[in-house]
């Protein structure tokens, strides 16, 4: 037998090793192995096995680590697809499917939490024979007879009886190795009351029926669940997962980090309590140890439902029945380092590999997913009404050009928004104000000489943060003391221009002195507990006005919030990104979804300097379909996704001269390498031309023949020699174009 092995050392290569006959029995795809490598010994994974006879001279695997494969075979297949699709090295891709702490652990996987129980009692003859042949086994049998059950890790420490001894006994049918069922649980202190499934309304019932129908098929089609905010999508996920559990299968639910609040975790835990199923939670604040614990719980089948962020798509759930991607349009599902995967697309592929149902949920589906649904690649299920037929909030678009004229300068709050807040505060209702930029003001400008404070290392202006009297670069974190005089001309007329959440907070505090006001952005929420405390207080009604960035825009459910203000809706429209309109539409719709989720009808004020922009107008009418039709035409005309696919190449170097030279050269060669399979453009500085002293250049590849373009590009990347000072990264289906 020959094993193809990928090693932990960064080499994009598969090596062949002979499998010694003694190991052949339990060697599997995904097994962790030790192999000779040069003069060293290194760890690796078996990625393929073949029954070929090893060529003479082929080196052998020296050791198999662990009882069961470390990586599930289906995840090896997924990693392989990912490496191929995202043009990443296979071993980088394999590393991605395992948490670091598990990968680095020298311990045999799972063993420290495994226990051994007696299966059958050895008779006297057997014992006597064992004493001669394998004295350790005999000792182990006697010990087990006395104790009934033991922790393997402890027998190793106390009695020097290793896991191998127990495994030998297990093979002879005398003992059984089992997972132990108590472990630390990050949510252990919380007390949940079991929740029962709700009676579904007609739309929900038909969506659930369609999902369960797919679940029964050998090749389920992904279901796009397009449901307005508050239409009860989560309840559908819960009931679909319950169906899986009944069939003995497991589930993975992906949510954006922001949505992974105790509120939503609680909903899952309390529902599955009645199924006696433990829910594993994978968020990015877990310590390495906690993460490894959760991983083992899942791998050993002790937690069958997983809820987590992006990388939870690789959770080692066996017998996976369903994958849910909530808020599937969220950009945080895209990983920004190699492999630059999109968790939604990986989920679809994993579903395909494991014949699991896939549900993509959103109130504002991405153009990509809706396009796939229209083409019949995904099944489409629509929830058009809010549960209990609550009305969608009224959207007021405030023309700020007008307001600026009246106020002789752009005001932070328009008169209409101000009046709206006053009347809500009088009724003891709550308000959320939203602006997607932290800090006090977005730039520091001298009114006399025109000097603008720029980051010395990046090509962006510094943001003024009043709280610490500092100017910060939001890209690299560079920080400088704020100045009161212009460093160029010495004039004192230095101005802080543009808006940030700090300034909103300050203005609102001045305008509504008796209201309790809190700000929520990554500056005030440096600790996870701060986030929970603030949300808790807001829920209890202790806070009247919550000011924040996108942190407050999504997923939160507060029945007493009746007014939402969007301070500056145009901000994202001016980004040099073909998805700018889509982002603004999504944002306004999501923000609007925060208003009026209780008994009182909600209203939304959208302040804008381009009030007639299509994103704003369609959002005002809650018209997703109209927006889609309008936008898809624009994408088709310019050959952007989803009509065509794109790949972005980013060249970086400390030397601008070198990078611009290489880019021009690469562009020329790429055009001929792609040979008409794609359109190549760019070769120019990226929108953000410099970050942390690295000059950045882009080449954009657009194609209608993705597979061909990718394979031609792969060949190009293999053969093209880059000088050391220039690095190149490849992003297939990029989400960030800056
Ligand atoms: P979404 O995920 O679409 O935003 P949720 O699933 O959070 O919506 O549902 C919004 C609220 O409606 C929740 O409080 C939920 O418990 C409730 N809800 C959902 N479905 C039903 C139903 N069929 N009957 C009664 N209440 C429901
Ligand atoms: Zn910087």
Q: Is the CB of 230 inside a 6 Å radius of any atom of ligand 1?
A: yes
Please give the pLDDT value at position 286: 83
What confidence tier does 192 reach under pLDDT thresholds 50, 70, 90?
low
Mean pLDDT of 611-630: 94
| pTM for the predicted model, two decimal places | 0.85
In-domain check, residue 707: yes
In-domain check, residue 273: yes
Residue 247 gets which letter from DSSP?
Answer: T
Residue 650, pLDDT above cutoff 60: yes
Distance 588 CA to ligand 2 centre (A): 29
Residue 607, pLDDT above cutoff 90: yes
Q: For residue 267, which atom of ligand 1 is closest to its CA?
A: 16
Please give the pLDDT value at position 234: 94
Q: Is the CB of 239 inside a 6 Å radius of any atom of ligand 1?
A: no
Residue 378 gets which letter from DSSP?
Answer: S
Pair (581, 678) in one structural domain: no
Domain finish residue from 575, 601, 634:
634
Q: For residue 235, which atom of ligand 1 is closest to its CA?
A: 6
Q: What is the mean pLDDT of the chain?
A: 88
Q: Is the CB of 137 inside a 6 Å radius of any atom of ligand 1?
A: no
Pair (399, 320) in one structural domain: no
Q: In percent, how much of the chain has pLDDT > 70?
A: 95
What confidence tier does 613 reach under pLDDT thresholds 50, 70, 90?
very high
Please give the pLDDT value at position 184: 42
DSSP 24-42: HTT--TT-EEEEEETTEEE
Please give the pLDDT value at position 186: 46
Pair (599, 506) in one structural domain: yes
In-domain check, residue 187: no
Mean pLDDT of 626-643: 95
Per residue in 521-576, pLDDT tens? 888 777 767 877 888 898 899 999 999 987 776 656 788 889 999 999 888 888 78
What whole-number distance in Å separates Cα of residue 81 and Cα of residue 258? Answer: 29
What confidence tier does 643 reach under pLDDT thresholds 50, 70, 90?
very high
Please give the pLDDT value at position 327: 94
Domain finish residue from 103, 122, 150:
103
In-domain check, residue 188: no
Per residue in 487-535, pLDDT tens? 888 888 788 888 889 999 999 999 999 999 999 888 877 776 787 788 8
User: In degrees to the nearest 10, what's the CA dihedral of 194, 257, 82, 208?
Assistant: 40
In-domain check, residue 190: no
Pair (224, 85) in one structural domain: no
Pair (96, 123) in one structural domain: no
- Owning domain of residue 680: 645-732
What whole-number distance in Å separates Cα of residue 277 and Cα of residue 291? Answer: 19
Q: Where are the alpha helices (DSSP H) in 42-99?
A: 73-85, 90-96
Please give the pLDDT value at position 14: 83
Q: Is the CB of 683 inside a 6 Å radius of any atom of ligand 1?
A: no
In-domain check, residue 483: yes
Element (H, E) at 661: helix 656-674
Domain finish residue from 181, 210, 241:
181
Question: First vs last Cα of the chain: how many Å apart?
Answer: 49
Please give the pLDDT value at position 189: 44
**Helix, strand, coil % over all residues of the chain, rounded to 5:** 35, 25, 40
Pair (377, 434) in one structural domain: no
Q: Which-ligand-closest: CA of 479?
A: 2
Q: Is the CB of 161 inside a 6 Å radius of any atom of ligand 1?
A: no
Q: Is the CB of 555 inside a 6 Å radius of any atom of ligand 1?
A: no
What confidence tier does 12 reach under pLDDT thresholds 50, 70, 90?
low
Pair (209, 293) in one structural domain: yes
Nearest to 499 by CA among 587, 410, 420: 410
Per residue in 718-728, pLDDT tens? 999 888 899 99
Nearest to 59 by CA among 9, 7, 19: 19
Please give the pLDDT value at position 646: 96
Distance 457 CA to ligand 2 centre (A): 5
Per residue in 373-390, pLDDT tens? 999 999 999 999 888 777
Please give the pLDDT value at position 343: 98
Distances 252 to 51, 576, 690 between C-alpha atoms, Å: 35, 35, 39
Burial letters 391-426, b for 16+ CB under 10 A, else e:
ebbebbbbbbeebeeeeeebbbbbeebbebbeebbe
Per residue in 96-142, pLDDT tens? 998 877 777 655 555 556 788 887 777 777 788 778 888 888 888 88
Element (H, E) at 460: none
Pair (424, 534) in one structural domain: yes
Distance 204 CA to ligand 1 centre (A): 10
Cβ burial, residue 171 (10 Å; 0-12/13-18/19+)? exposed
What whole-number distance in Å separates Cα of residue 93 and Cα of residue 22? Answer: 30
Pair (62, 140) in one structural domain: no
Q: Which-ligand-closest: CA of 477?
A: 2
The domain tally of the chain equals 6
Q: Which-ligand-closest: CA of 458?
A: 2
In-domain check, residue 676: yes
Pair (241, 326) in one structural domain: yes
In-domain check, residue 189: no
What confidence tier does 190 reach under pLDDT thresholds 50, 70, 90?
low
Please give the pLDDT value at position 703: 96
Pair (408, 449) in one structural domain: no
CATH code of 650's domain: 3.30.70.360
Which residue is closest in CA terms to ligand 1's atom 15? 232
Q: For residue 204, which atom of ligand 1 is closest to its CA?
A: 23
Q: Is the CB of 234 inside a 6 Å radius of any atom of ligand 1?
A: yes
SS3 74: helix
Please give the pLDDT value at position 570: 87
What whole-number distance in Å separates Cα of residue 28 and Cα of residue 11? Answer: 22
Mean pLDDT of 402-417: 87
Q: Which-ligand-closest: CA of 227?
A: 1
Pair (554, 530) in one structural domain: yes
- The lowest-confidence range among 81-85, 537-541, 582-586 is 537-541
Mean pLDDT of 391-407: 89
Contact 619, 588 (CB under 8 A): yes
CATH code of 584's domain: 3.40.50.300
CATH code of 22's domain: 3.40.1440.60
Please give the pLDDT value at position 706: 94
């Amino acid at each position: 037998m020959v094993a193809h092995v990928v090693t932990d050392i960064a080499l994009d290569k598969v090596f062949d090793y002979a499998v010694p006959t003694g190991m052949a029995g339990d060697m599997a795809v995904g097994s962790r192995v030790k192999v000779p490598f040069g003069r060293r010994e290194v760890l690796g994974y078996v990625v393929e096995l073949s029954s070929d006879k090893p060529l003479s001279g082929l080196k052998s695997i020296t050791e198999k680590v662990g009882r069961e494969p470390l990586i599930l075979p289906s995840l090896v297949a997924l990693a392989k697809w990912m490496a191929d699709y995202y043009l990443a090295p296979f071993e980088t891709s394999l590393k991605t499917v395992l948490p670091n702490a598990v990968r680095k652990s020298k311990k045999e996987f799972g063993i420290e939490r495994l226990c051994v129980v007696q299966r059958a009692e050895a008779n006297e003859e057997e014992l006597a024979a064992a004493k001669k042949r394998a004295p350790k086994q005999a000792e182990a049998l006697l010990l087990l007879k006395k104790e009934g059950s033991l922790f393997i890790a402890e027998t190793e420490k106390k009695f020097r009886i290793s896991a191998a001894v127990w495994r030998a006994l297990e093979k002879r049918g005398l003992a059984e190795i089992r997972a132990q069922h108590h472990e630390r649980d990050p949510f252990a202190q919380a007390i949940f009351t079991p929740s029962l499934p709700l009676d579904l309304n007609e739309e929900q019932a038909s969506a659930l029926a369609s999902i369960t129908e797919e679940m029964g098929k050998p090749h389920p089609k992904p279901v796009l669940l397009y449901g307005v905010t508050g239409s009860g999508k989560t309840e559908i996920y819960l009931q679909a997962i319950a169906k899986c559990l009944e069939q003995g299968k497991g589930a993975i639910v992906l949510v954006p980090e922001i949505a992974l609040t105790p509120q939503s975790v609680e909903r899952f835990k309390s529902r599955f309590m009645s199924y006696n199923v433990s829910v594993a939670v994978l968020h990015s604040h877990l310590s390495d140890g906690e993460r490894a614990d959760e991983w083992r719980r899942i791998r050993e089948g002790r937690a069958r439902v997983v809820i987590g962020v992006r990388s939870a798509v690789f959770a080692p759930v066996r017998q996976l029945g369903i994958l849910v991607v909530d808020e599937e349009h969220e950009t945080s599902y895209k990983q920004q380092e190699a492999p630059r995967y999109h968790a939604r697309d990986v989920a679809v592929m994993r579903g395909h590999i494991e014949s699991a149902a896939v549900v993509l949920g959103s109130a504002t589906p991405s153009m990509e997913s809706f396009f796939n649904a229209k083409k019949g690649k995904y099944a489409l299920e629509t929830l058009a009404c809010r549960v209990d037929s609550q009305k969608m909030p009224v959207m007021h678009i405030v023309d700020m050009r007008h307001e600026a004229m009246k106020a002789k300068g752009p005001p932070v709050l328009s008169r209409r928004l101000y009046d709206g807040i006053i009347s809500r505060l009088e009724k003891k209702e709550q308000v959320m104000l939203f602006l997607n930029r932290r800090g006090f003001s977005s730039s520091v400008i001298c009114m006399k000489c025109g000097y603008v404070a720029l980051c010395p290392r990046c090509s962006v202006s510094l943001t003024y943060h009043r709280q610490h009297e500092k100017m910060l670069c939001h890209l690299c974190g560079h920080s400088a003391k704020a100045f009161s005089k212009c460093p160029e001309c010495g004039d004192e007329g230095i101005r802080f221009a543009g808006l940030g959440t700090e300034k909103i907070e300050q203005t609102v505090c001045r305008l509504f002195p008796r209201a309790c006001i809190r700000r929520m952005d990554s500056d005030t929420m440096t600790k996870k507990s701060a986030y929970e405390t603030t949300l808790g207080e807001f829920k209890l009604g202790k806070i009247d006005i919550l000011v924040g960035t996108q942190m407050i825009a999504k997923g939160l459910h507060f029945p007493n919030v009746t007014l939402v203000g969007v301070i500056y809706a145009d901000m994202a429209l001016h980004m040099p990104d073909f998805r700018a309109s889509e982002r603004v539409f999504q944002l306004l719709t999501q923000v609007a979804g925060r208003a009026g989720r209780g008994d009182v009808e909600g209203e939304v004020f959208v302040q804008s300097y381009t009030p007639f922009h299509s994103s704003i107008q369609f959002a005002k009418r809650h018209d997703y379909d109209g927006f889609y039709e309008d936008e898809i035409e624009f994408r088709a005309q310019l050959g952007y996704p989803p009509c065509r696919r794109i790949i972005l190449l980013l060249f970086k170097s400390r030397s601008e001269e070198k990078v611009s030279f290489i880019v021009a050269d690469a562009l020329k060669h790429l055009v001929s390498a792609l040979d008409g399979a794609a359109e190549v453009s760019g070769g120019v500085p990226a929108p953000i031309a410099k970050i942390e002293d690295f000059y950045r250049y882009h080449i954009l590849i657009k194609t209608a023949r993705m597979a061909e373009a990718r394979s031609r590009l792969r060949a190009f990347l293999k053969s093209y020699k880059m000088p050391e000072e220039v690095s190149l990264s490849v992003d297939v289906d990029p989400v960030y174009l800056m």
